Structure 1
C-alpha cells in the first residue's frame, strides 16, 4: 500500500496536470467544509455561492481551464441529500462558474454500476490520489497511486460515473427546496 501523505503535498498536481483533473466524491459530508466561512452562511439559509475570482480554488480552475485543461467531478448524493451534500450542491455553483464541470449521481444509481465508496482524484488518466478519512469525515491524508491496476480501475469508475451523472444545474432543478441549511 502506498504511503499516506498530507493533502498539502499534492496541491501542485492541480496546476501541473496536462489535460484532466477528475474527482469522485462519495462522502455524505466533509469535516473540512464545516470549518470554512461558507458553512455558517449556508446554515443560516444561503443557498448559492457564486464565483469568487480572488478565491484560490476558483482562480486556479479559471486559469487551468483557460489553458484548455479540464476540471471535472462527480458527486454521489443521497435521497434525500444530507446537510453536507446540500452544502456541496450550493457551494459547487461557484466552482461551475469558475470552469469546473460538476455532475451529480444519486447513490442508489451508483451502486448498480459498481462505483466504489472511496474518494479520489485522477490526473491525466495516469495518477490516482486516493483520500483517507477517519470516521468523522476528517481528511487523514492521501495515497498517490500510479500502478496500472489502480489507474485502470479509476478510469473505469470515471467513465461509468460520468456516463450516468447529471450536470449540477439540471440536478438541482429536480430538487427544489432541498438545498437549505439548518436555521
Structure 2
C-alpha cells in the first residue's frame, strides 16, 4: 500500500516518540554518543529514492513538543537521511497546531485513500484502518494543508534545536 500511490504520500505524526524494535538501540546509542549506525533505515530510504526518481513524493509533518524529547532530537538528526533521499519533512510546534487538527497519525495517499494509524501505550504501531470515505478524505486533506502551511522545514527546525543548546 505505501508504495502504491501515484503522486504524493503524506504523513501526519503527532506522537513525541515512536517505538519499534528497529529504532530502540540506535536511539540509545545516539543519546549516549551523538551518533549511531542508521543502516536499519536503508530499505525505507531506497523506497523514498525510487519514488522521487519516478516523480512521486513522500511528505511528512511532525508535530513536536518543546522543549524537545530525546526522541525528537534523535529523529530530527536522523531525518537528514530522509531529506537527502527525497522526502520533505516539516516540523510544527505543538503549541502552534491549528485548532481541530486530528488527534491521530495518518498517511494520506493522493488524497484518495488514508491509513489511520493505531498505537499502544508504549508507542508501538499496532496497525491501521483504511479510510476511503470521500468526506473524511476531504477533511484529512484540509488538515494536511493546514499543518503543512504552519510547519517549517527539517533544516530550519534542526538549526533552531542547535541554537537552543
User: Is the pair's TM-score, using the shorter chain for normalization, greater than 0.5?
Assistant: yes
Distance 1:85 1:135, change over 3 A: same
How many residue pairs get aligned? The number is: 165
Whether 1:116 and 2:95 are equivalent positions in the alignment is no
Distance 1:142 1:168, change over 3 A: same
Distance 1:34 1:65, change over 3 A: closer
Partner of 2:136: 150
CA contact (8 A) 1:48 1:91 kept: no
Partner of 2:26: 38
Deviation of 1:36 (Å) = 4.5
Alpha-carbon separation, structure 1, partners of 2:5 and 2:37: 27
Q: TM-score, normalised by structure 2?
A: 0.90
Alpha-carbon separation, structure 2, partners of 1:159 and 1:49: 34
Aligned match of 1:175 in 154, 157, 161? Answer: 161
Whether 1:69 and 2:23 are equivalent positions in the alignment is no
Partner of 1:18: 6
Q: RMSD over aligned Cα, in angstroms?
A: 2.3
Partner of 2:67: 80
State the 4+ residue runs in structure 1 displaced beyond 6 angstroms.
none
Query: How big is each residue's C-alpha offset from its partner over 1:47-78, in whole Å with a ceiling of 9 and x where there is no partner?
Result: 5878x6x8110011000011001110000111
Distance 1:101 1:75, change over 3 A: same
Deviation of 1:163 (Å) = 0.6
Distance 1:46 1:178, change over 3 A: farther
Alpha-carbon separation, structure 2, partners of 1:121 and 1:82: 23
Distance 1:34 1:78, change over 3 A: farther
Whether 1:166 and 2:159 are equivalent positions in the alignment is no
